[in-house]
Amino acid sequence: MVRALALSAALIAATPLFAKEGHEAVTTFTLDNGMDVVVVEDHRAPVVQHMVWYRAGSADEPIGSSGVAHFLEHLLFKGTDTMEPGELSATVAANGGNDNAFTSYDYTAYFQRVAADRLELMMRMEADRMRNIRLTENDIATERDVILEERNQRTENNPRSLFGEQMSAAQYLNHRYGVPIIGWKHEMEELDMGDALSFYQTHYAPNNAILVVTGDVDPDEVKTLADQYYGVIPANPDLPERVRSQEPPQTAERRLTYKDARVAQPYVQRSYLAPERDAGAQEKAAALYLLAELLGGGTTSYLNEKLQFDQHKVVYTGAFYRGVSLDDTTFDLIVVPAEGVSLQEAEDAMDQAVADFIAEGVNEDDLNRIKMQLRAAQTYARDNVDGIGNRYGRALTSGLTVEDVQAWPDIVQGVTGDEIIAAAREVLQPETSVTGWLMRDDEVTQ
Amino acid sequence: MKRIIATLTALIIAVPAWAEIEIEEVTSPGGITAWLVEDHSIPFTALELRFRGGTSLDDPDARGAVYLMSGLIEEGSGDMDARTYARELESLAASFSYRATDDSVSISARFLTENRDDVVDLLQTTIHDPRFDQEAIDRVKAQVISGLKSDQTDPSDIAGRHFAEMAYGDHPYASDGKGTIESVSGLTRDDIVAAYDNVFVRDRLYVGAVGDITAEELGVLLDELLVDLPATGKPIPDKAEVTIDGGVNVVDFNTPQSVALFGQNGIDRDDPDFFAAYVLNHILGGGGFESRLMQEVREKRGLTYGVATYLVPKDLASVYLGSVSSANDRIAEAVEVIRQEWARAAAEGVTQKELDDAKTYLTGAYPLRFDGNGQIAGIMVGMQMEDLPIDYIATRNDKVNAVTLEDVNRVASELLDPDGLHFTIVGKPEGLDG
């Protein structure tokens, strides 16, 4: 059992709120069957969040079964050998708790928030459904209708989501990140019992899972309970390595227009294939993270100053980098043109501003201001231990280690302006990019 | 008999133990009152300032002025233009956020202990000396109009607008507080200044603070920030007359999934039956997977991803609303099931088991809300606006537990109005006319 605190190992006092001033009270260890455990303490309120994260997401799905990871997530709320369909959620509710689950490209996670003295019951039920779900054909048919309605709600009814799907599909030539998490509709319609159970049996095992417990708990007690409920589940010796088809060199700039009568506010989005945070090597990702903040992070960001304040060409601009990802991720720019400004003008202005930013180099005052805010964010983060737990869950299902998570703030603080510019030059290459225009369907392209 | 005892024991065990939140009422030397929870475990403070009134204070010919003003407060103050101001705020690593609703305008601030005085100085000039530069007005107006354009083709927004128009007649609640593209386009700097004068006044102010600050420090802060505000402002409008007819109104919109907003008359927050109605709503459509509507519409029939109902007791009217989305060829069945459940609950009420389950959930989940300084500050301000006593948190679960099956079922028959339940449906629904 390794008690890894941010800086020092000798910090577990008897009743620490935070073991050392300014640091998160994080304890991590691994059960004998390979299940990782992260505990984040906060004793201000007698509440606990109990989560199990699986290293299995939509990008781990077999070809032709898109959406099955998310479909299975829904089906885990049906019955097990010992629980009736819906009993788990009903039991959580009867104990005054809330429960839910979510699926992404690289993970599926289940959680309950409940009074701290109910942790054992949560573990017993969550451990049960790790191996023992029982599904009927009726469960499959009904829940498939539900996920199709979920797709309707999230995607089919929303032109921005449909546009985003097309952007991702164009960005990834060979990797499953090009397929939507919820699935393509025509494949979702065909998902069956076999697809769901096969994904379940392959990926749901303690040696592919991370337990994250946050709140009013004692790490020793969590260890005892985790050994009792999760530790007895045998590891899956046949757990496959997470090998996904990777991107080939991207050599051709891609462009697309998505037209929809429901588009009221057209905009331009640009994505670049970008490296993700890698275990033991997060420096470039840290530079990209700061690049996104500097270019499009807030009111004083470079794109906002140039395009909104100086040139009045856009009503909104932003830059985004999703560094926590198992495989290659993207760096995204977005510009929403002002009234009377065409998409082409907005795109040209964006490109010119990015080129100017790279040519001018990083303004040190701007960089220091962002670093100051990130240091403060570590203090504010302690007010939300569930958020800290989520950070570990995402990282540990995306190829990072506890040490990487804890090293990240210092790595970000150490990035220089020159490194940011070098990362920008390397990543913002037309050949690896997709440029999309979201348009009304009566709009004419120039 | 044994069985009954077992059940009771289970219920008692199911009520979790939880820490008391100790709220202190603080009155500053200058006479500003606030509720405070001192907690020095993390070196920052969350401060919530809320002014009753909100977008309902708009003049009819300046709809959207309060909302636009709330977006302009952070666009420069004193001798700082918008860009200088933004740099100053970022360099202090504090955050100020602003929210305008029908009934209130809120300022939620969060700041570190280490530079609290500088942050308070900045917030003071923000509140007292906003510039409302024409450049900023034009820029933020364009942002608001861009958002309004998007709302025009968002099925949920379309449904909300049609429903409000039908329900509230000529009251401000009948239209979107953000205004319309036309009304926002016409707003002048004078309209913004008038909105500012109408909103930020002392006799409609409520304050909550949580975190690393003492009562004495808070008192000094309150006086610096708030004591010089004008005593009072434009009167709040009269209560709205709610007119919701039964039936279906279809708003034609070409999209694959129909979005339905449904509702009827509601119940006031200070009504003696409010808690019974609250428990009833939880059972019918309020609570997660276990509600009757989720079970019938989603779990049994797979007709939707989500269906939920909400009691909406606002200052000037109370309604009871719900929403559901289903593919165009399935929405008619969803509507039918919801109507049936409404009628069944009105006629038959709920069971003792449903009531017991709802109580254990509602009482157990209550403490889960108090999860963070900002959350607690917001809850305390809400309590003050609803005129609840300072010890309300400790007594709230007793009020839930005091609700009897007889209460719930009487309220179900009085409140639920299956014939008066109106559906506004946006999409291309099949088999529904309206």
- Please compute the mean of the pLDDT values over residues B107-129 and round it to a whole number: 97
Among the partner residues A94, A369, A380, nearest to B361 by beta-carbon distance: A94
Q: Would the CB atoms of B367 and A46 count as touching at under 8 Å?
A: yes
| Burial (0-12, 13-18, 19+ Cβ within 10 Å), B114 | middle
Q: What does DSSP assign to residue B405?
A: H
Tens digits of per-residue pLDDT, A289-324?
Answer: 999 999 999 899 999 999 999 999 999 999 999 999
Q: How far apart are CA B263 and CA A278, in angstroms?
A: 51
Q: Would the CB atoms of B289 and A95 count as touching at under 8 Å?
A: no
**Residue B433: pLDDT band by 50, 70, 90 thresholds?**
confident
Locate tokens 């794109």: which residue?
Answer: A303
Q: Would the CB atoms of A115 and B146 count as touching at under 8 Å?
A: no
CA distance A359 to chain B (A): 23
How wide is the angle at C-alpha B47 spanned by C-alphas B41 and B51, nearest 5°?
A: 160
| Catalytic residue numbers of A, as ranges | 73
For an interface test with B, give the residue of A154, A307, A380, A382 to mutate (most B CBs within 10 A): A380
pLDDT (0 to 100) of residue A193: 98
Tens digits of per-residue pLDDT, B2-28?
Answer: 333 333 333 333 444 445 789 999 999
Distances in Å between the Cα of A414 and the Cα atoms of A300, A320, A410, A411, B108 are 22, 20, 6, 5, 32
Contact predicate A307/A403, CB 8 Å: no
pLDDT (0 to 100) of residue A7: 29
Contacts of B14 in chain A (CB under 8 A): 94-96
Could you tell me how many CB contacts below 8 A there are between chain A and chain B?
A: 189
Q: With 80 as the cut, is the pLDDT of residue B186 above it?
A: yes
- Please compute the mean of the pLDDT values over residues B195-215 and round it to a whole number: 97
Q: Would the CB atoms of B90 and A386 count as touching at under 8 Å?
A: no
Tens digits of per-residue pLDDT, A381-432?
Answer: 999 999 999 999 999 999 999 999 999 999 999 999 999 999 999 999 999 9
- Please compute the mean of the pLDDT values over residues B173-182 and round it to a whole number: 97
Q: With 90 as the cut, is the pLDDT of residue B64 above it?
A: yes
Contacts of A298 in chain B (CB under 8 A): 86, 90
Q: What is the DSSP pairing of strand B247-252 with strand A267-274? A: unpaired
ipTM of the shown complex: 0.92
Which residues in chain A land under pLDDT 50?
A: 1-22, 446
CA distance A153 to chain B (A): 7
Among the partner residues B44, B146, B364, nearest to A97 by beta-carbon distance: B364
H or E element in which residue B37 lies: strand B33-38
Tens digits of per-residue pLDDT, B230-240?
Answer: 999 999 999 99
| Burial (0-12, 13-18, 19+ Cβ within 10 Å), A241 | exposed
CA distance A45 to chain B (A): 6
Q: Among B52, B125, B130, B119, which residue's Cα sits nearest to residue B91?
A: B119
Residue window 39-58, chain B: list those with CB within 8 Å of chain A.
39, 41-44
Chain A contact present for B375, CB below 8 A: no
Q: How far apart are CA A12 and CA A14, in angstroms?
A: 7
Q: Among A104, A95, A148, which residue's Cα sits nearest to residue A124?
A: A95
pLDDT (0 to 100) of residue B289: 86
Q: What is the largest CA-CA distance in chain A?
A: 69
Contacts of A338 in chain B (CB under 8 A): 142
Please state whether the predicted TM-score (pTM) of the whole model is above 0.95: no
The neighbour count for residue B266, using CB atoms within 10 Å, is 23
pLDDT (0 to 100) of residue A443: 63
Locate tokens 């599909």: which residue?
Answer: A169
**Mean pLDDT taken over chain A:** 93
Query: Tokens for B249?
Result: 């109104």
